[in-house]
Copies of this chain bind each other. A is one copy, B any other.
Amino acid sequence: MPGELNVGAGERGRRPATIYDVARLAGVSHMTVSRYLRGTTGVGAESGRKVARAVALLDYRPNRMARIMRTRRSDRIAVILPDATGMMPTRLLTGAARAAHEAGYLLDLVALEGDAAARAERIHTLLRPEYVAGIVAFTPLHAWTGDRAPTEMAVPVVVDGEYDDNMRAQGVLADATPAAGIVRHLAGLGHRRFLHVAGPQAWASARNRRAVYEATVAELGLESYGVAPGDWGAEAGRRAAGWLPGSGVTAVFAANDRTAFGVVQGLRELGIDVPGQVSVFGWDDDEIGRCLVPALSTVSVDRERQGGDAVRRLLALLNGQEPAAPPEAGALNRLVVRDSTGPAPTRAV
B94 touches A235 (CB 8 A): no
Q: A233 at interface (Cβ–Cβ under 8 A)?
A: yes
**Complex contacts, A286 vs chain B, CB 8 Å:** 87
Known contacts A87-B87, A87-B90; A234 and B290 CB within 8 A of each other: yes
Q: A312 at interface (Cβ–Cβ under 8 A)?
A: no
Look across to chain B and name the residue whose beta carbon is closest to the beta carbon of A102. Answer: B113
**Which chain A residues numbered 98 to 132 have a C-beta less than 8 Å away from chain B?**
98, 101, 106-111, 113, 122, 125, 128, 130-131
Chain A interface size band reads 35 or more
Known contacts A65-B130, A81-B93, A86-B90; A108 and B111 CB within 8 A of each other: no
Q: How far is the CA of A130 from the CA of B68 in the complex (A)?
A: 13
CB < 8 Å: which of B65, B101, B108, B258 contacts A65?
B65
Q: A265 at interface (Cβ–Cβ under 8 A)?
A: yes
Q: A61 at interface (Cβ–Cβ under 8 A)?
A: yes
Look across to chain B and name the residue whose beta carbon is closest to the beta carbon of A236. Answer: B291
Q: A8 at interface (Cβ–Cβ under 8 A)?
A: no
A97 touches B111 (CB 8 A): yes
Q: How far is the CA of A220 from the CA of B191 in the complex (A)?
A: 56
Q: A91 at interface (Cβ–Cβ under 8 A)?
A: yes
CB < 8 Å: which of B68, B84, B258 contacts A288?
B258
Q: How far is the CA of A97 from the CA of B237 in the complex (A)?
A: 31
Q: A242 at interface (Cβ–Cβ under 8 A)?
A: no
**How many copies are assembled?**
2
CB < 8 Å: which of B109, B130, B238, B261 contacts A63?
B130
Q: How far is the CA of A89 from the CA of B91 in the complex (A)?
A: 13
B65 touches A291 (CB 8 A): no
A65 touches B68 (CB 8 A): yes
**Complex contacts, A268 vs chain B, CB 8 Å:** 293
18 interchain pairs, CB-CB under 8 A: A16-B128, A16-B130, A61-B125, A61-B128, A63-B69, A64-B131, A65-B65, A83-B90, A85-B90, A85-B91, A88-B90, A93-B111, A97-B109, A98-B111, A107-B108, A107-B111, A235-B290, A237-B291
New A-B pairs, 19, CB < 8 Å, besides A85-B90, A86-B287, A109-B109: A16-B130, A61-B125, A65-B69, A65-B130, A66-B69, A81-B93, A81-B94, A81-B97, A84-B90, A86-B89, A93-B109, A93-B111, A106-B109, A107-B108, A107-B110, A233-B287, A234-B288, A265-B293, A266-B291
